[in-house]
Amino acid sequence: MAKAKTETKNGAPAWPAAKVESRKLSEIVPYARNARTHSAEQIDQIAASIREWGWTNPILVTPDGTIIAGHGRVLAAQKLGLGHVPAMVAEGWTEAQIRAYVIADNKLALNAGWDQGLLAVELQGLDDVGFDLDLTGFDALELEALIPSDLPGEGESEGSTASLADKFGIPPFSVLNAREGWWQSRKRAWLALGIKSELGRGENVLGHPETTGNIDFYAQKRALEKREGKKYSTPEARERLIAQGLIGRSV
């Protein structure tokens, strides 16, 4: 059980060992005033994470089964058709503590940042061994900003492999910005125009076929892996797509 803290003689907080138990999913209910929202896309991402790694973080609930932390995981569990989920019960918490933690659990995570250089290295390393980068939660736009690109730009040679993070010090937008409302509003505007963000700008949006770049490549890469049932590194996928006539050498 997750119990309220007690004070030791020296004033340091002392916490009893927490116990994780299995709870029926049907007996867990959402917190009525939960201010955090979860898109269908994010629920799919959480479900994919659970399939890949299992449960790494139990749901936190009140004794009567109301969710304090883990609304997205519960929705993902429902999507996966699970009957039970691991849960921790918050014993001895006041109503104010519960209400505050519902907010703090989400906000504290958002306050963290990224070391952009190390993140780019880690993502590139995972891509090189053929790991599905979709499972990291980054979309194609974010990946294009972080990992090296073979797409030549203004003033660059055909073989340039500098990422946008290398060129600008940090990506043109941060991962956090991509989760903010204004970015989601822009994405909805794209969709209203028939533009799929995961496919990039599209070859006819500006009337220039060359505007289709590496963002489209990642969509092609995922489609290739799905067709062939195999993960490919970026260089491997590029060569196979070129051999199949699906992309050109400059992409």
Query: pLDDT (tens digit, 0 to 9) for every residue of the chain, 251 residues total?
Result: 555 555 554 555 555 555 789 999 999 999 999 999 999 999 999 999 999 999 999 999 999 999 999 999 999 999 999 999 999 999 889 999 999 999 999 899 888 888 888 998 999 899 888 888 889 998 888 888 887 554 444 444 444 455 545 544 444 445 445 445 545 555 556 566 555 544 444 444 433 333 344 556 777 888 888 888 888 887 788 888 888 877 766 54
CA–CA dist 146, 117 (Å, integer): 8
Residue in the structure block whose two tokens are 């449960």: 55
For the full predicted model, state whether its pTM sits above 0.75.
no
Give 3-state DSSP helix, strand, coil % of the chain, rounded to 5: 45, 10, 40
Task: Say what the pLDDT of residue 96 is.
Answer: 94
Helix (H, G, I), strand (E, B) or coil at 109: helix
Give the β-pairing of 84-91 and 2-3.
Answer: parallel
Q: Provide the pLDDT for residue 250.
A: 56
Q: Which residues of 30-45 are buried (b: 16+ CB within 10 A; e: fewer)?
A: ebeebeeebeeeebeb
Amino acid identity at 75: L
Q: What is the pLDDT of residue 202?
A: 42
Phi, psi of 138 (to 5 degrees): -85, 140
Distant-in-sequence, close-in-space partners of 107: CB < 8 Å, separation ≥ 6: none
161 phi and psi angles, rounded to 5 deg: -125, 20
Q: For residue 216, what pLDDT is reported? A: 66
Residue ranges of domains in the chain, CATH in brackets:
2-110 (3.90.1530.10), 116-243 (no CATH)
61 close to 28: Cβ distance less than 8 angstroms = yes
Burial (CB count within 10 angstroms: exposed 0-12, middle 13-18, buried 19+), residue 178: middle
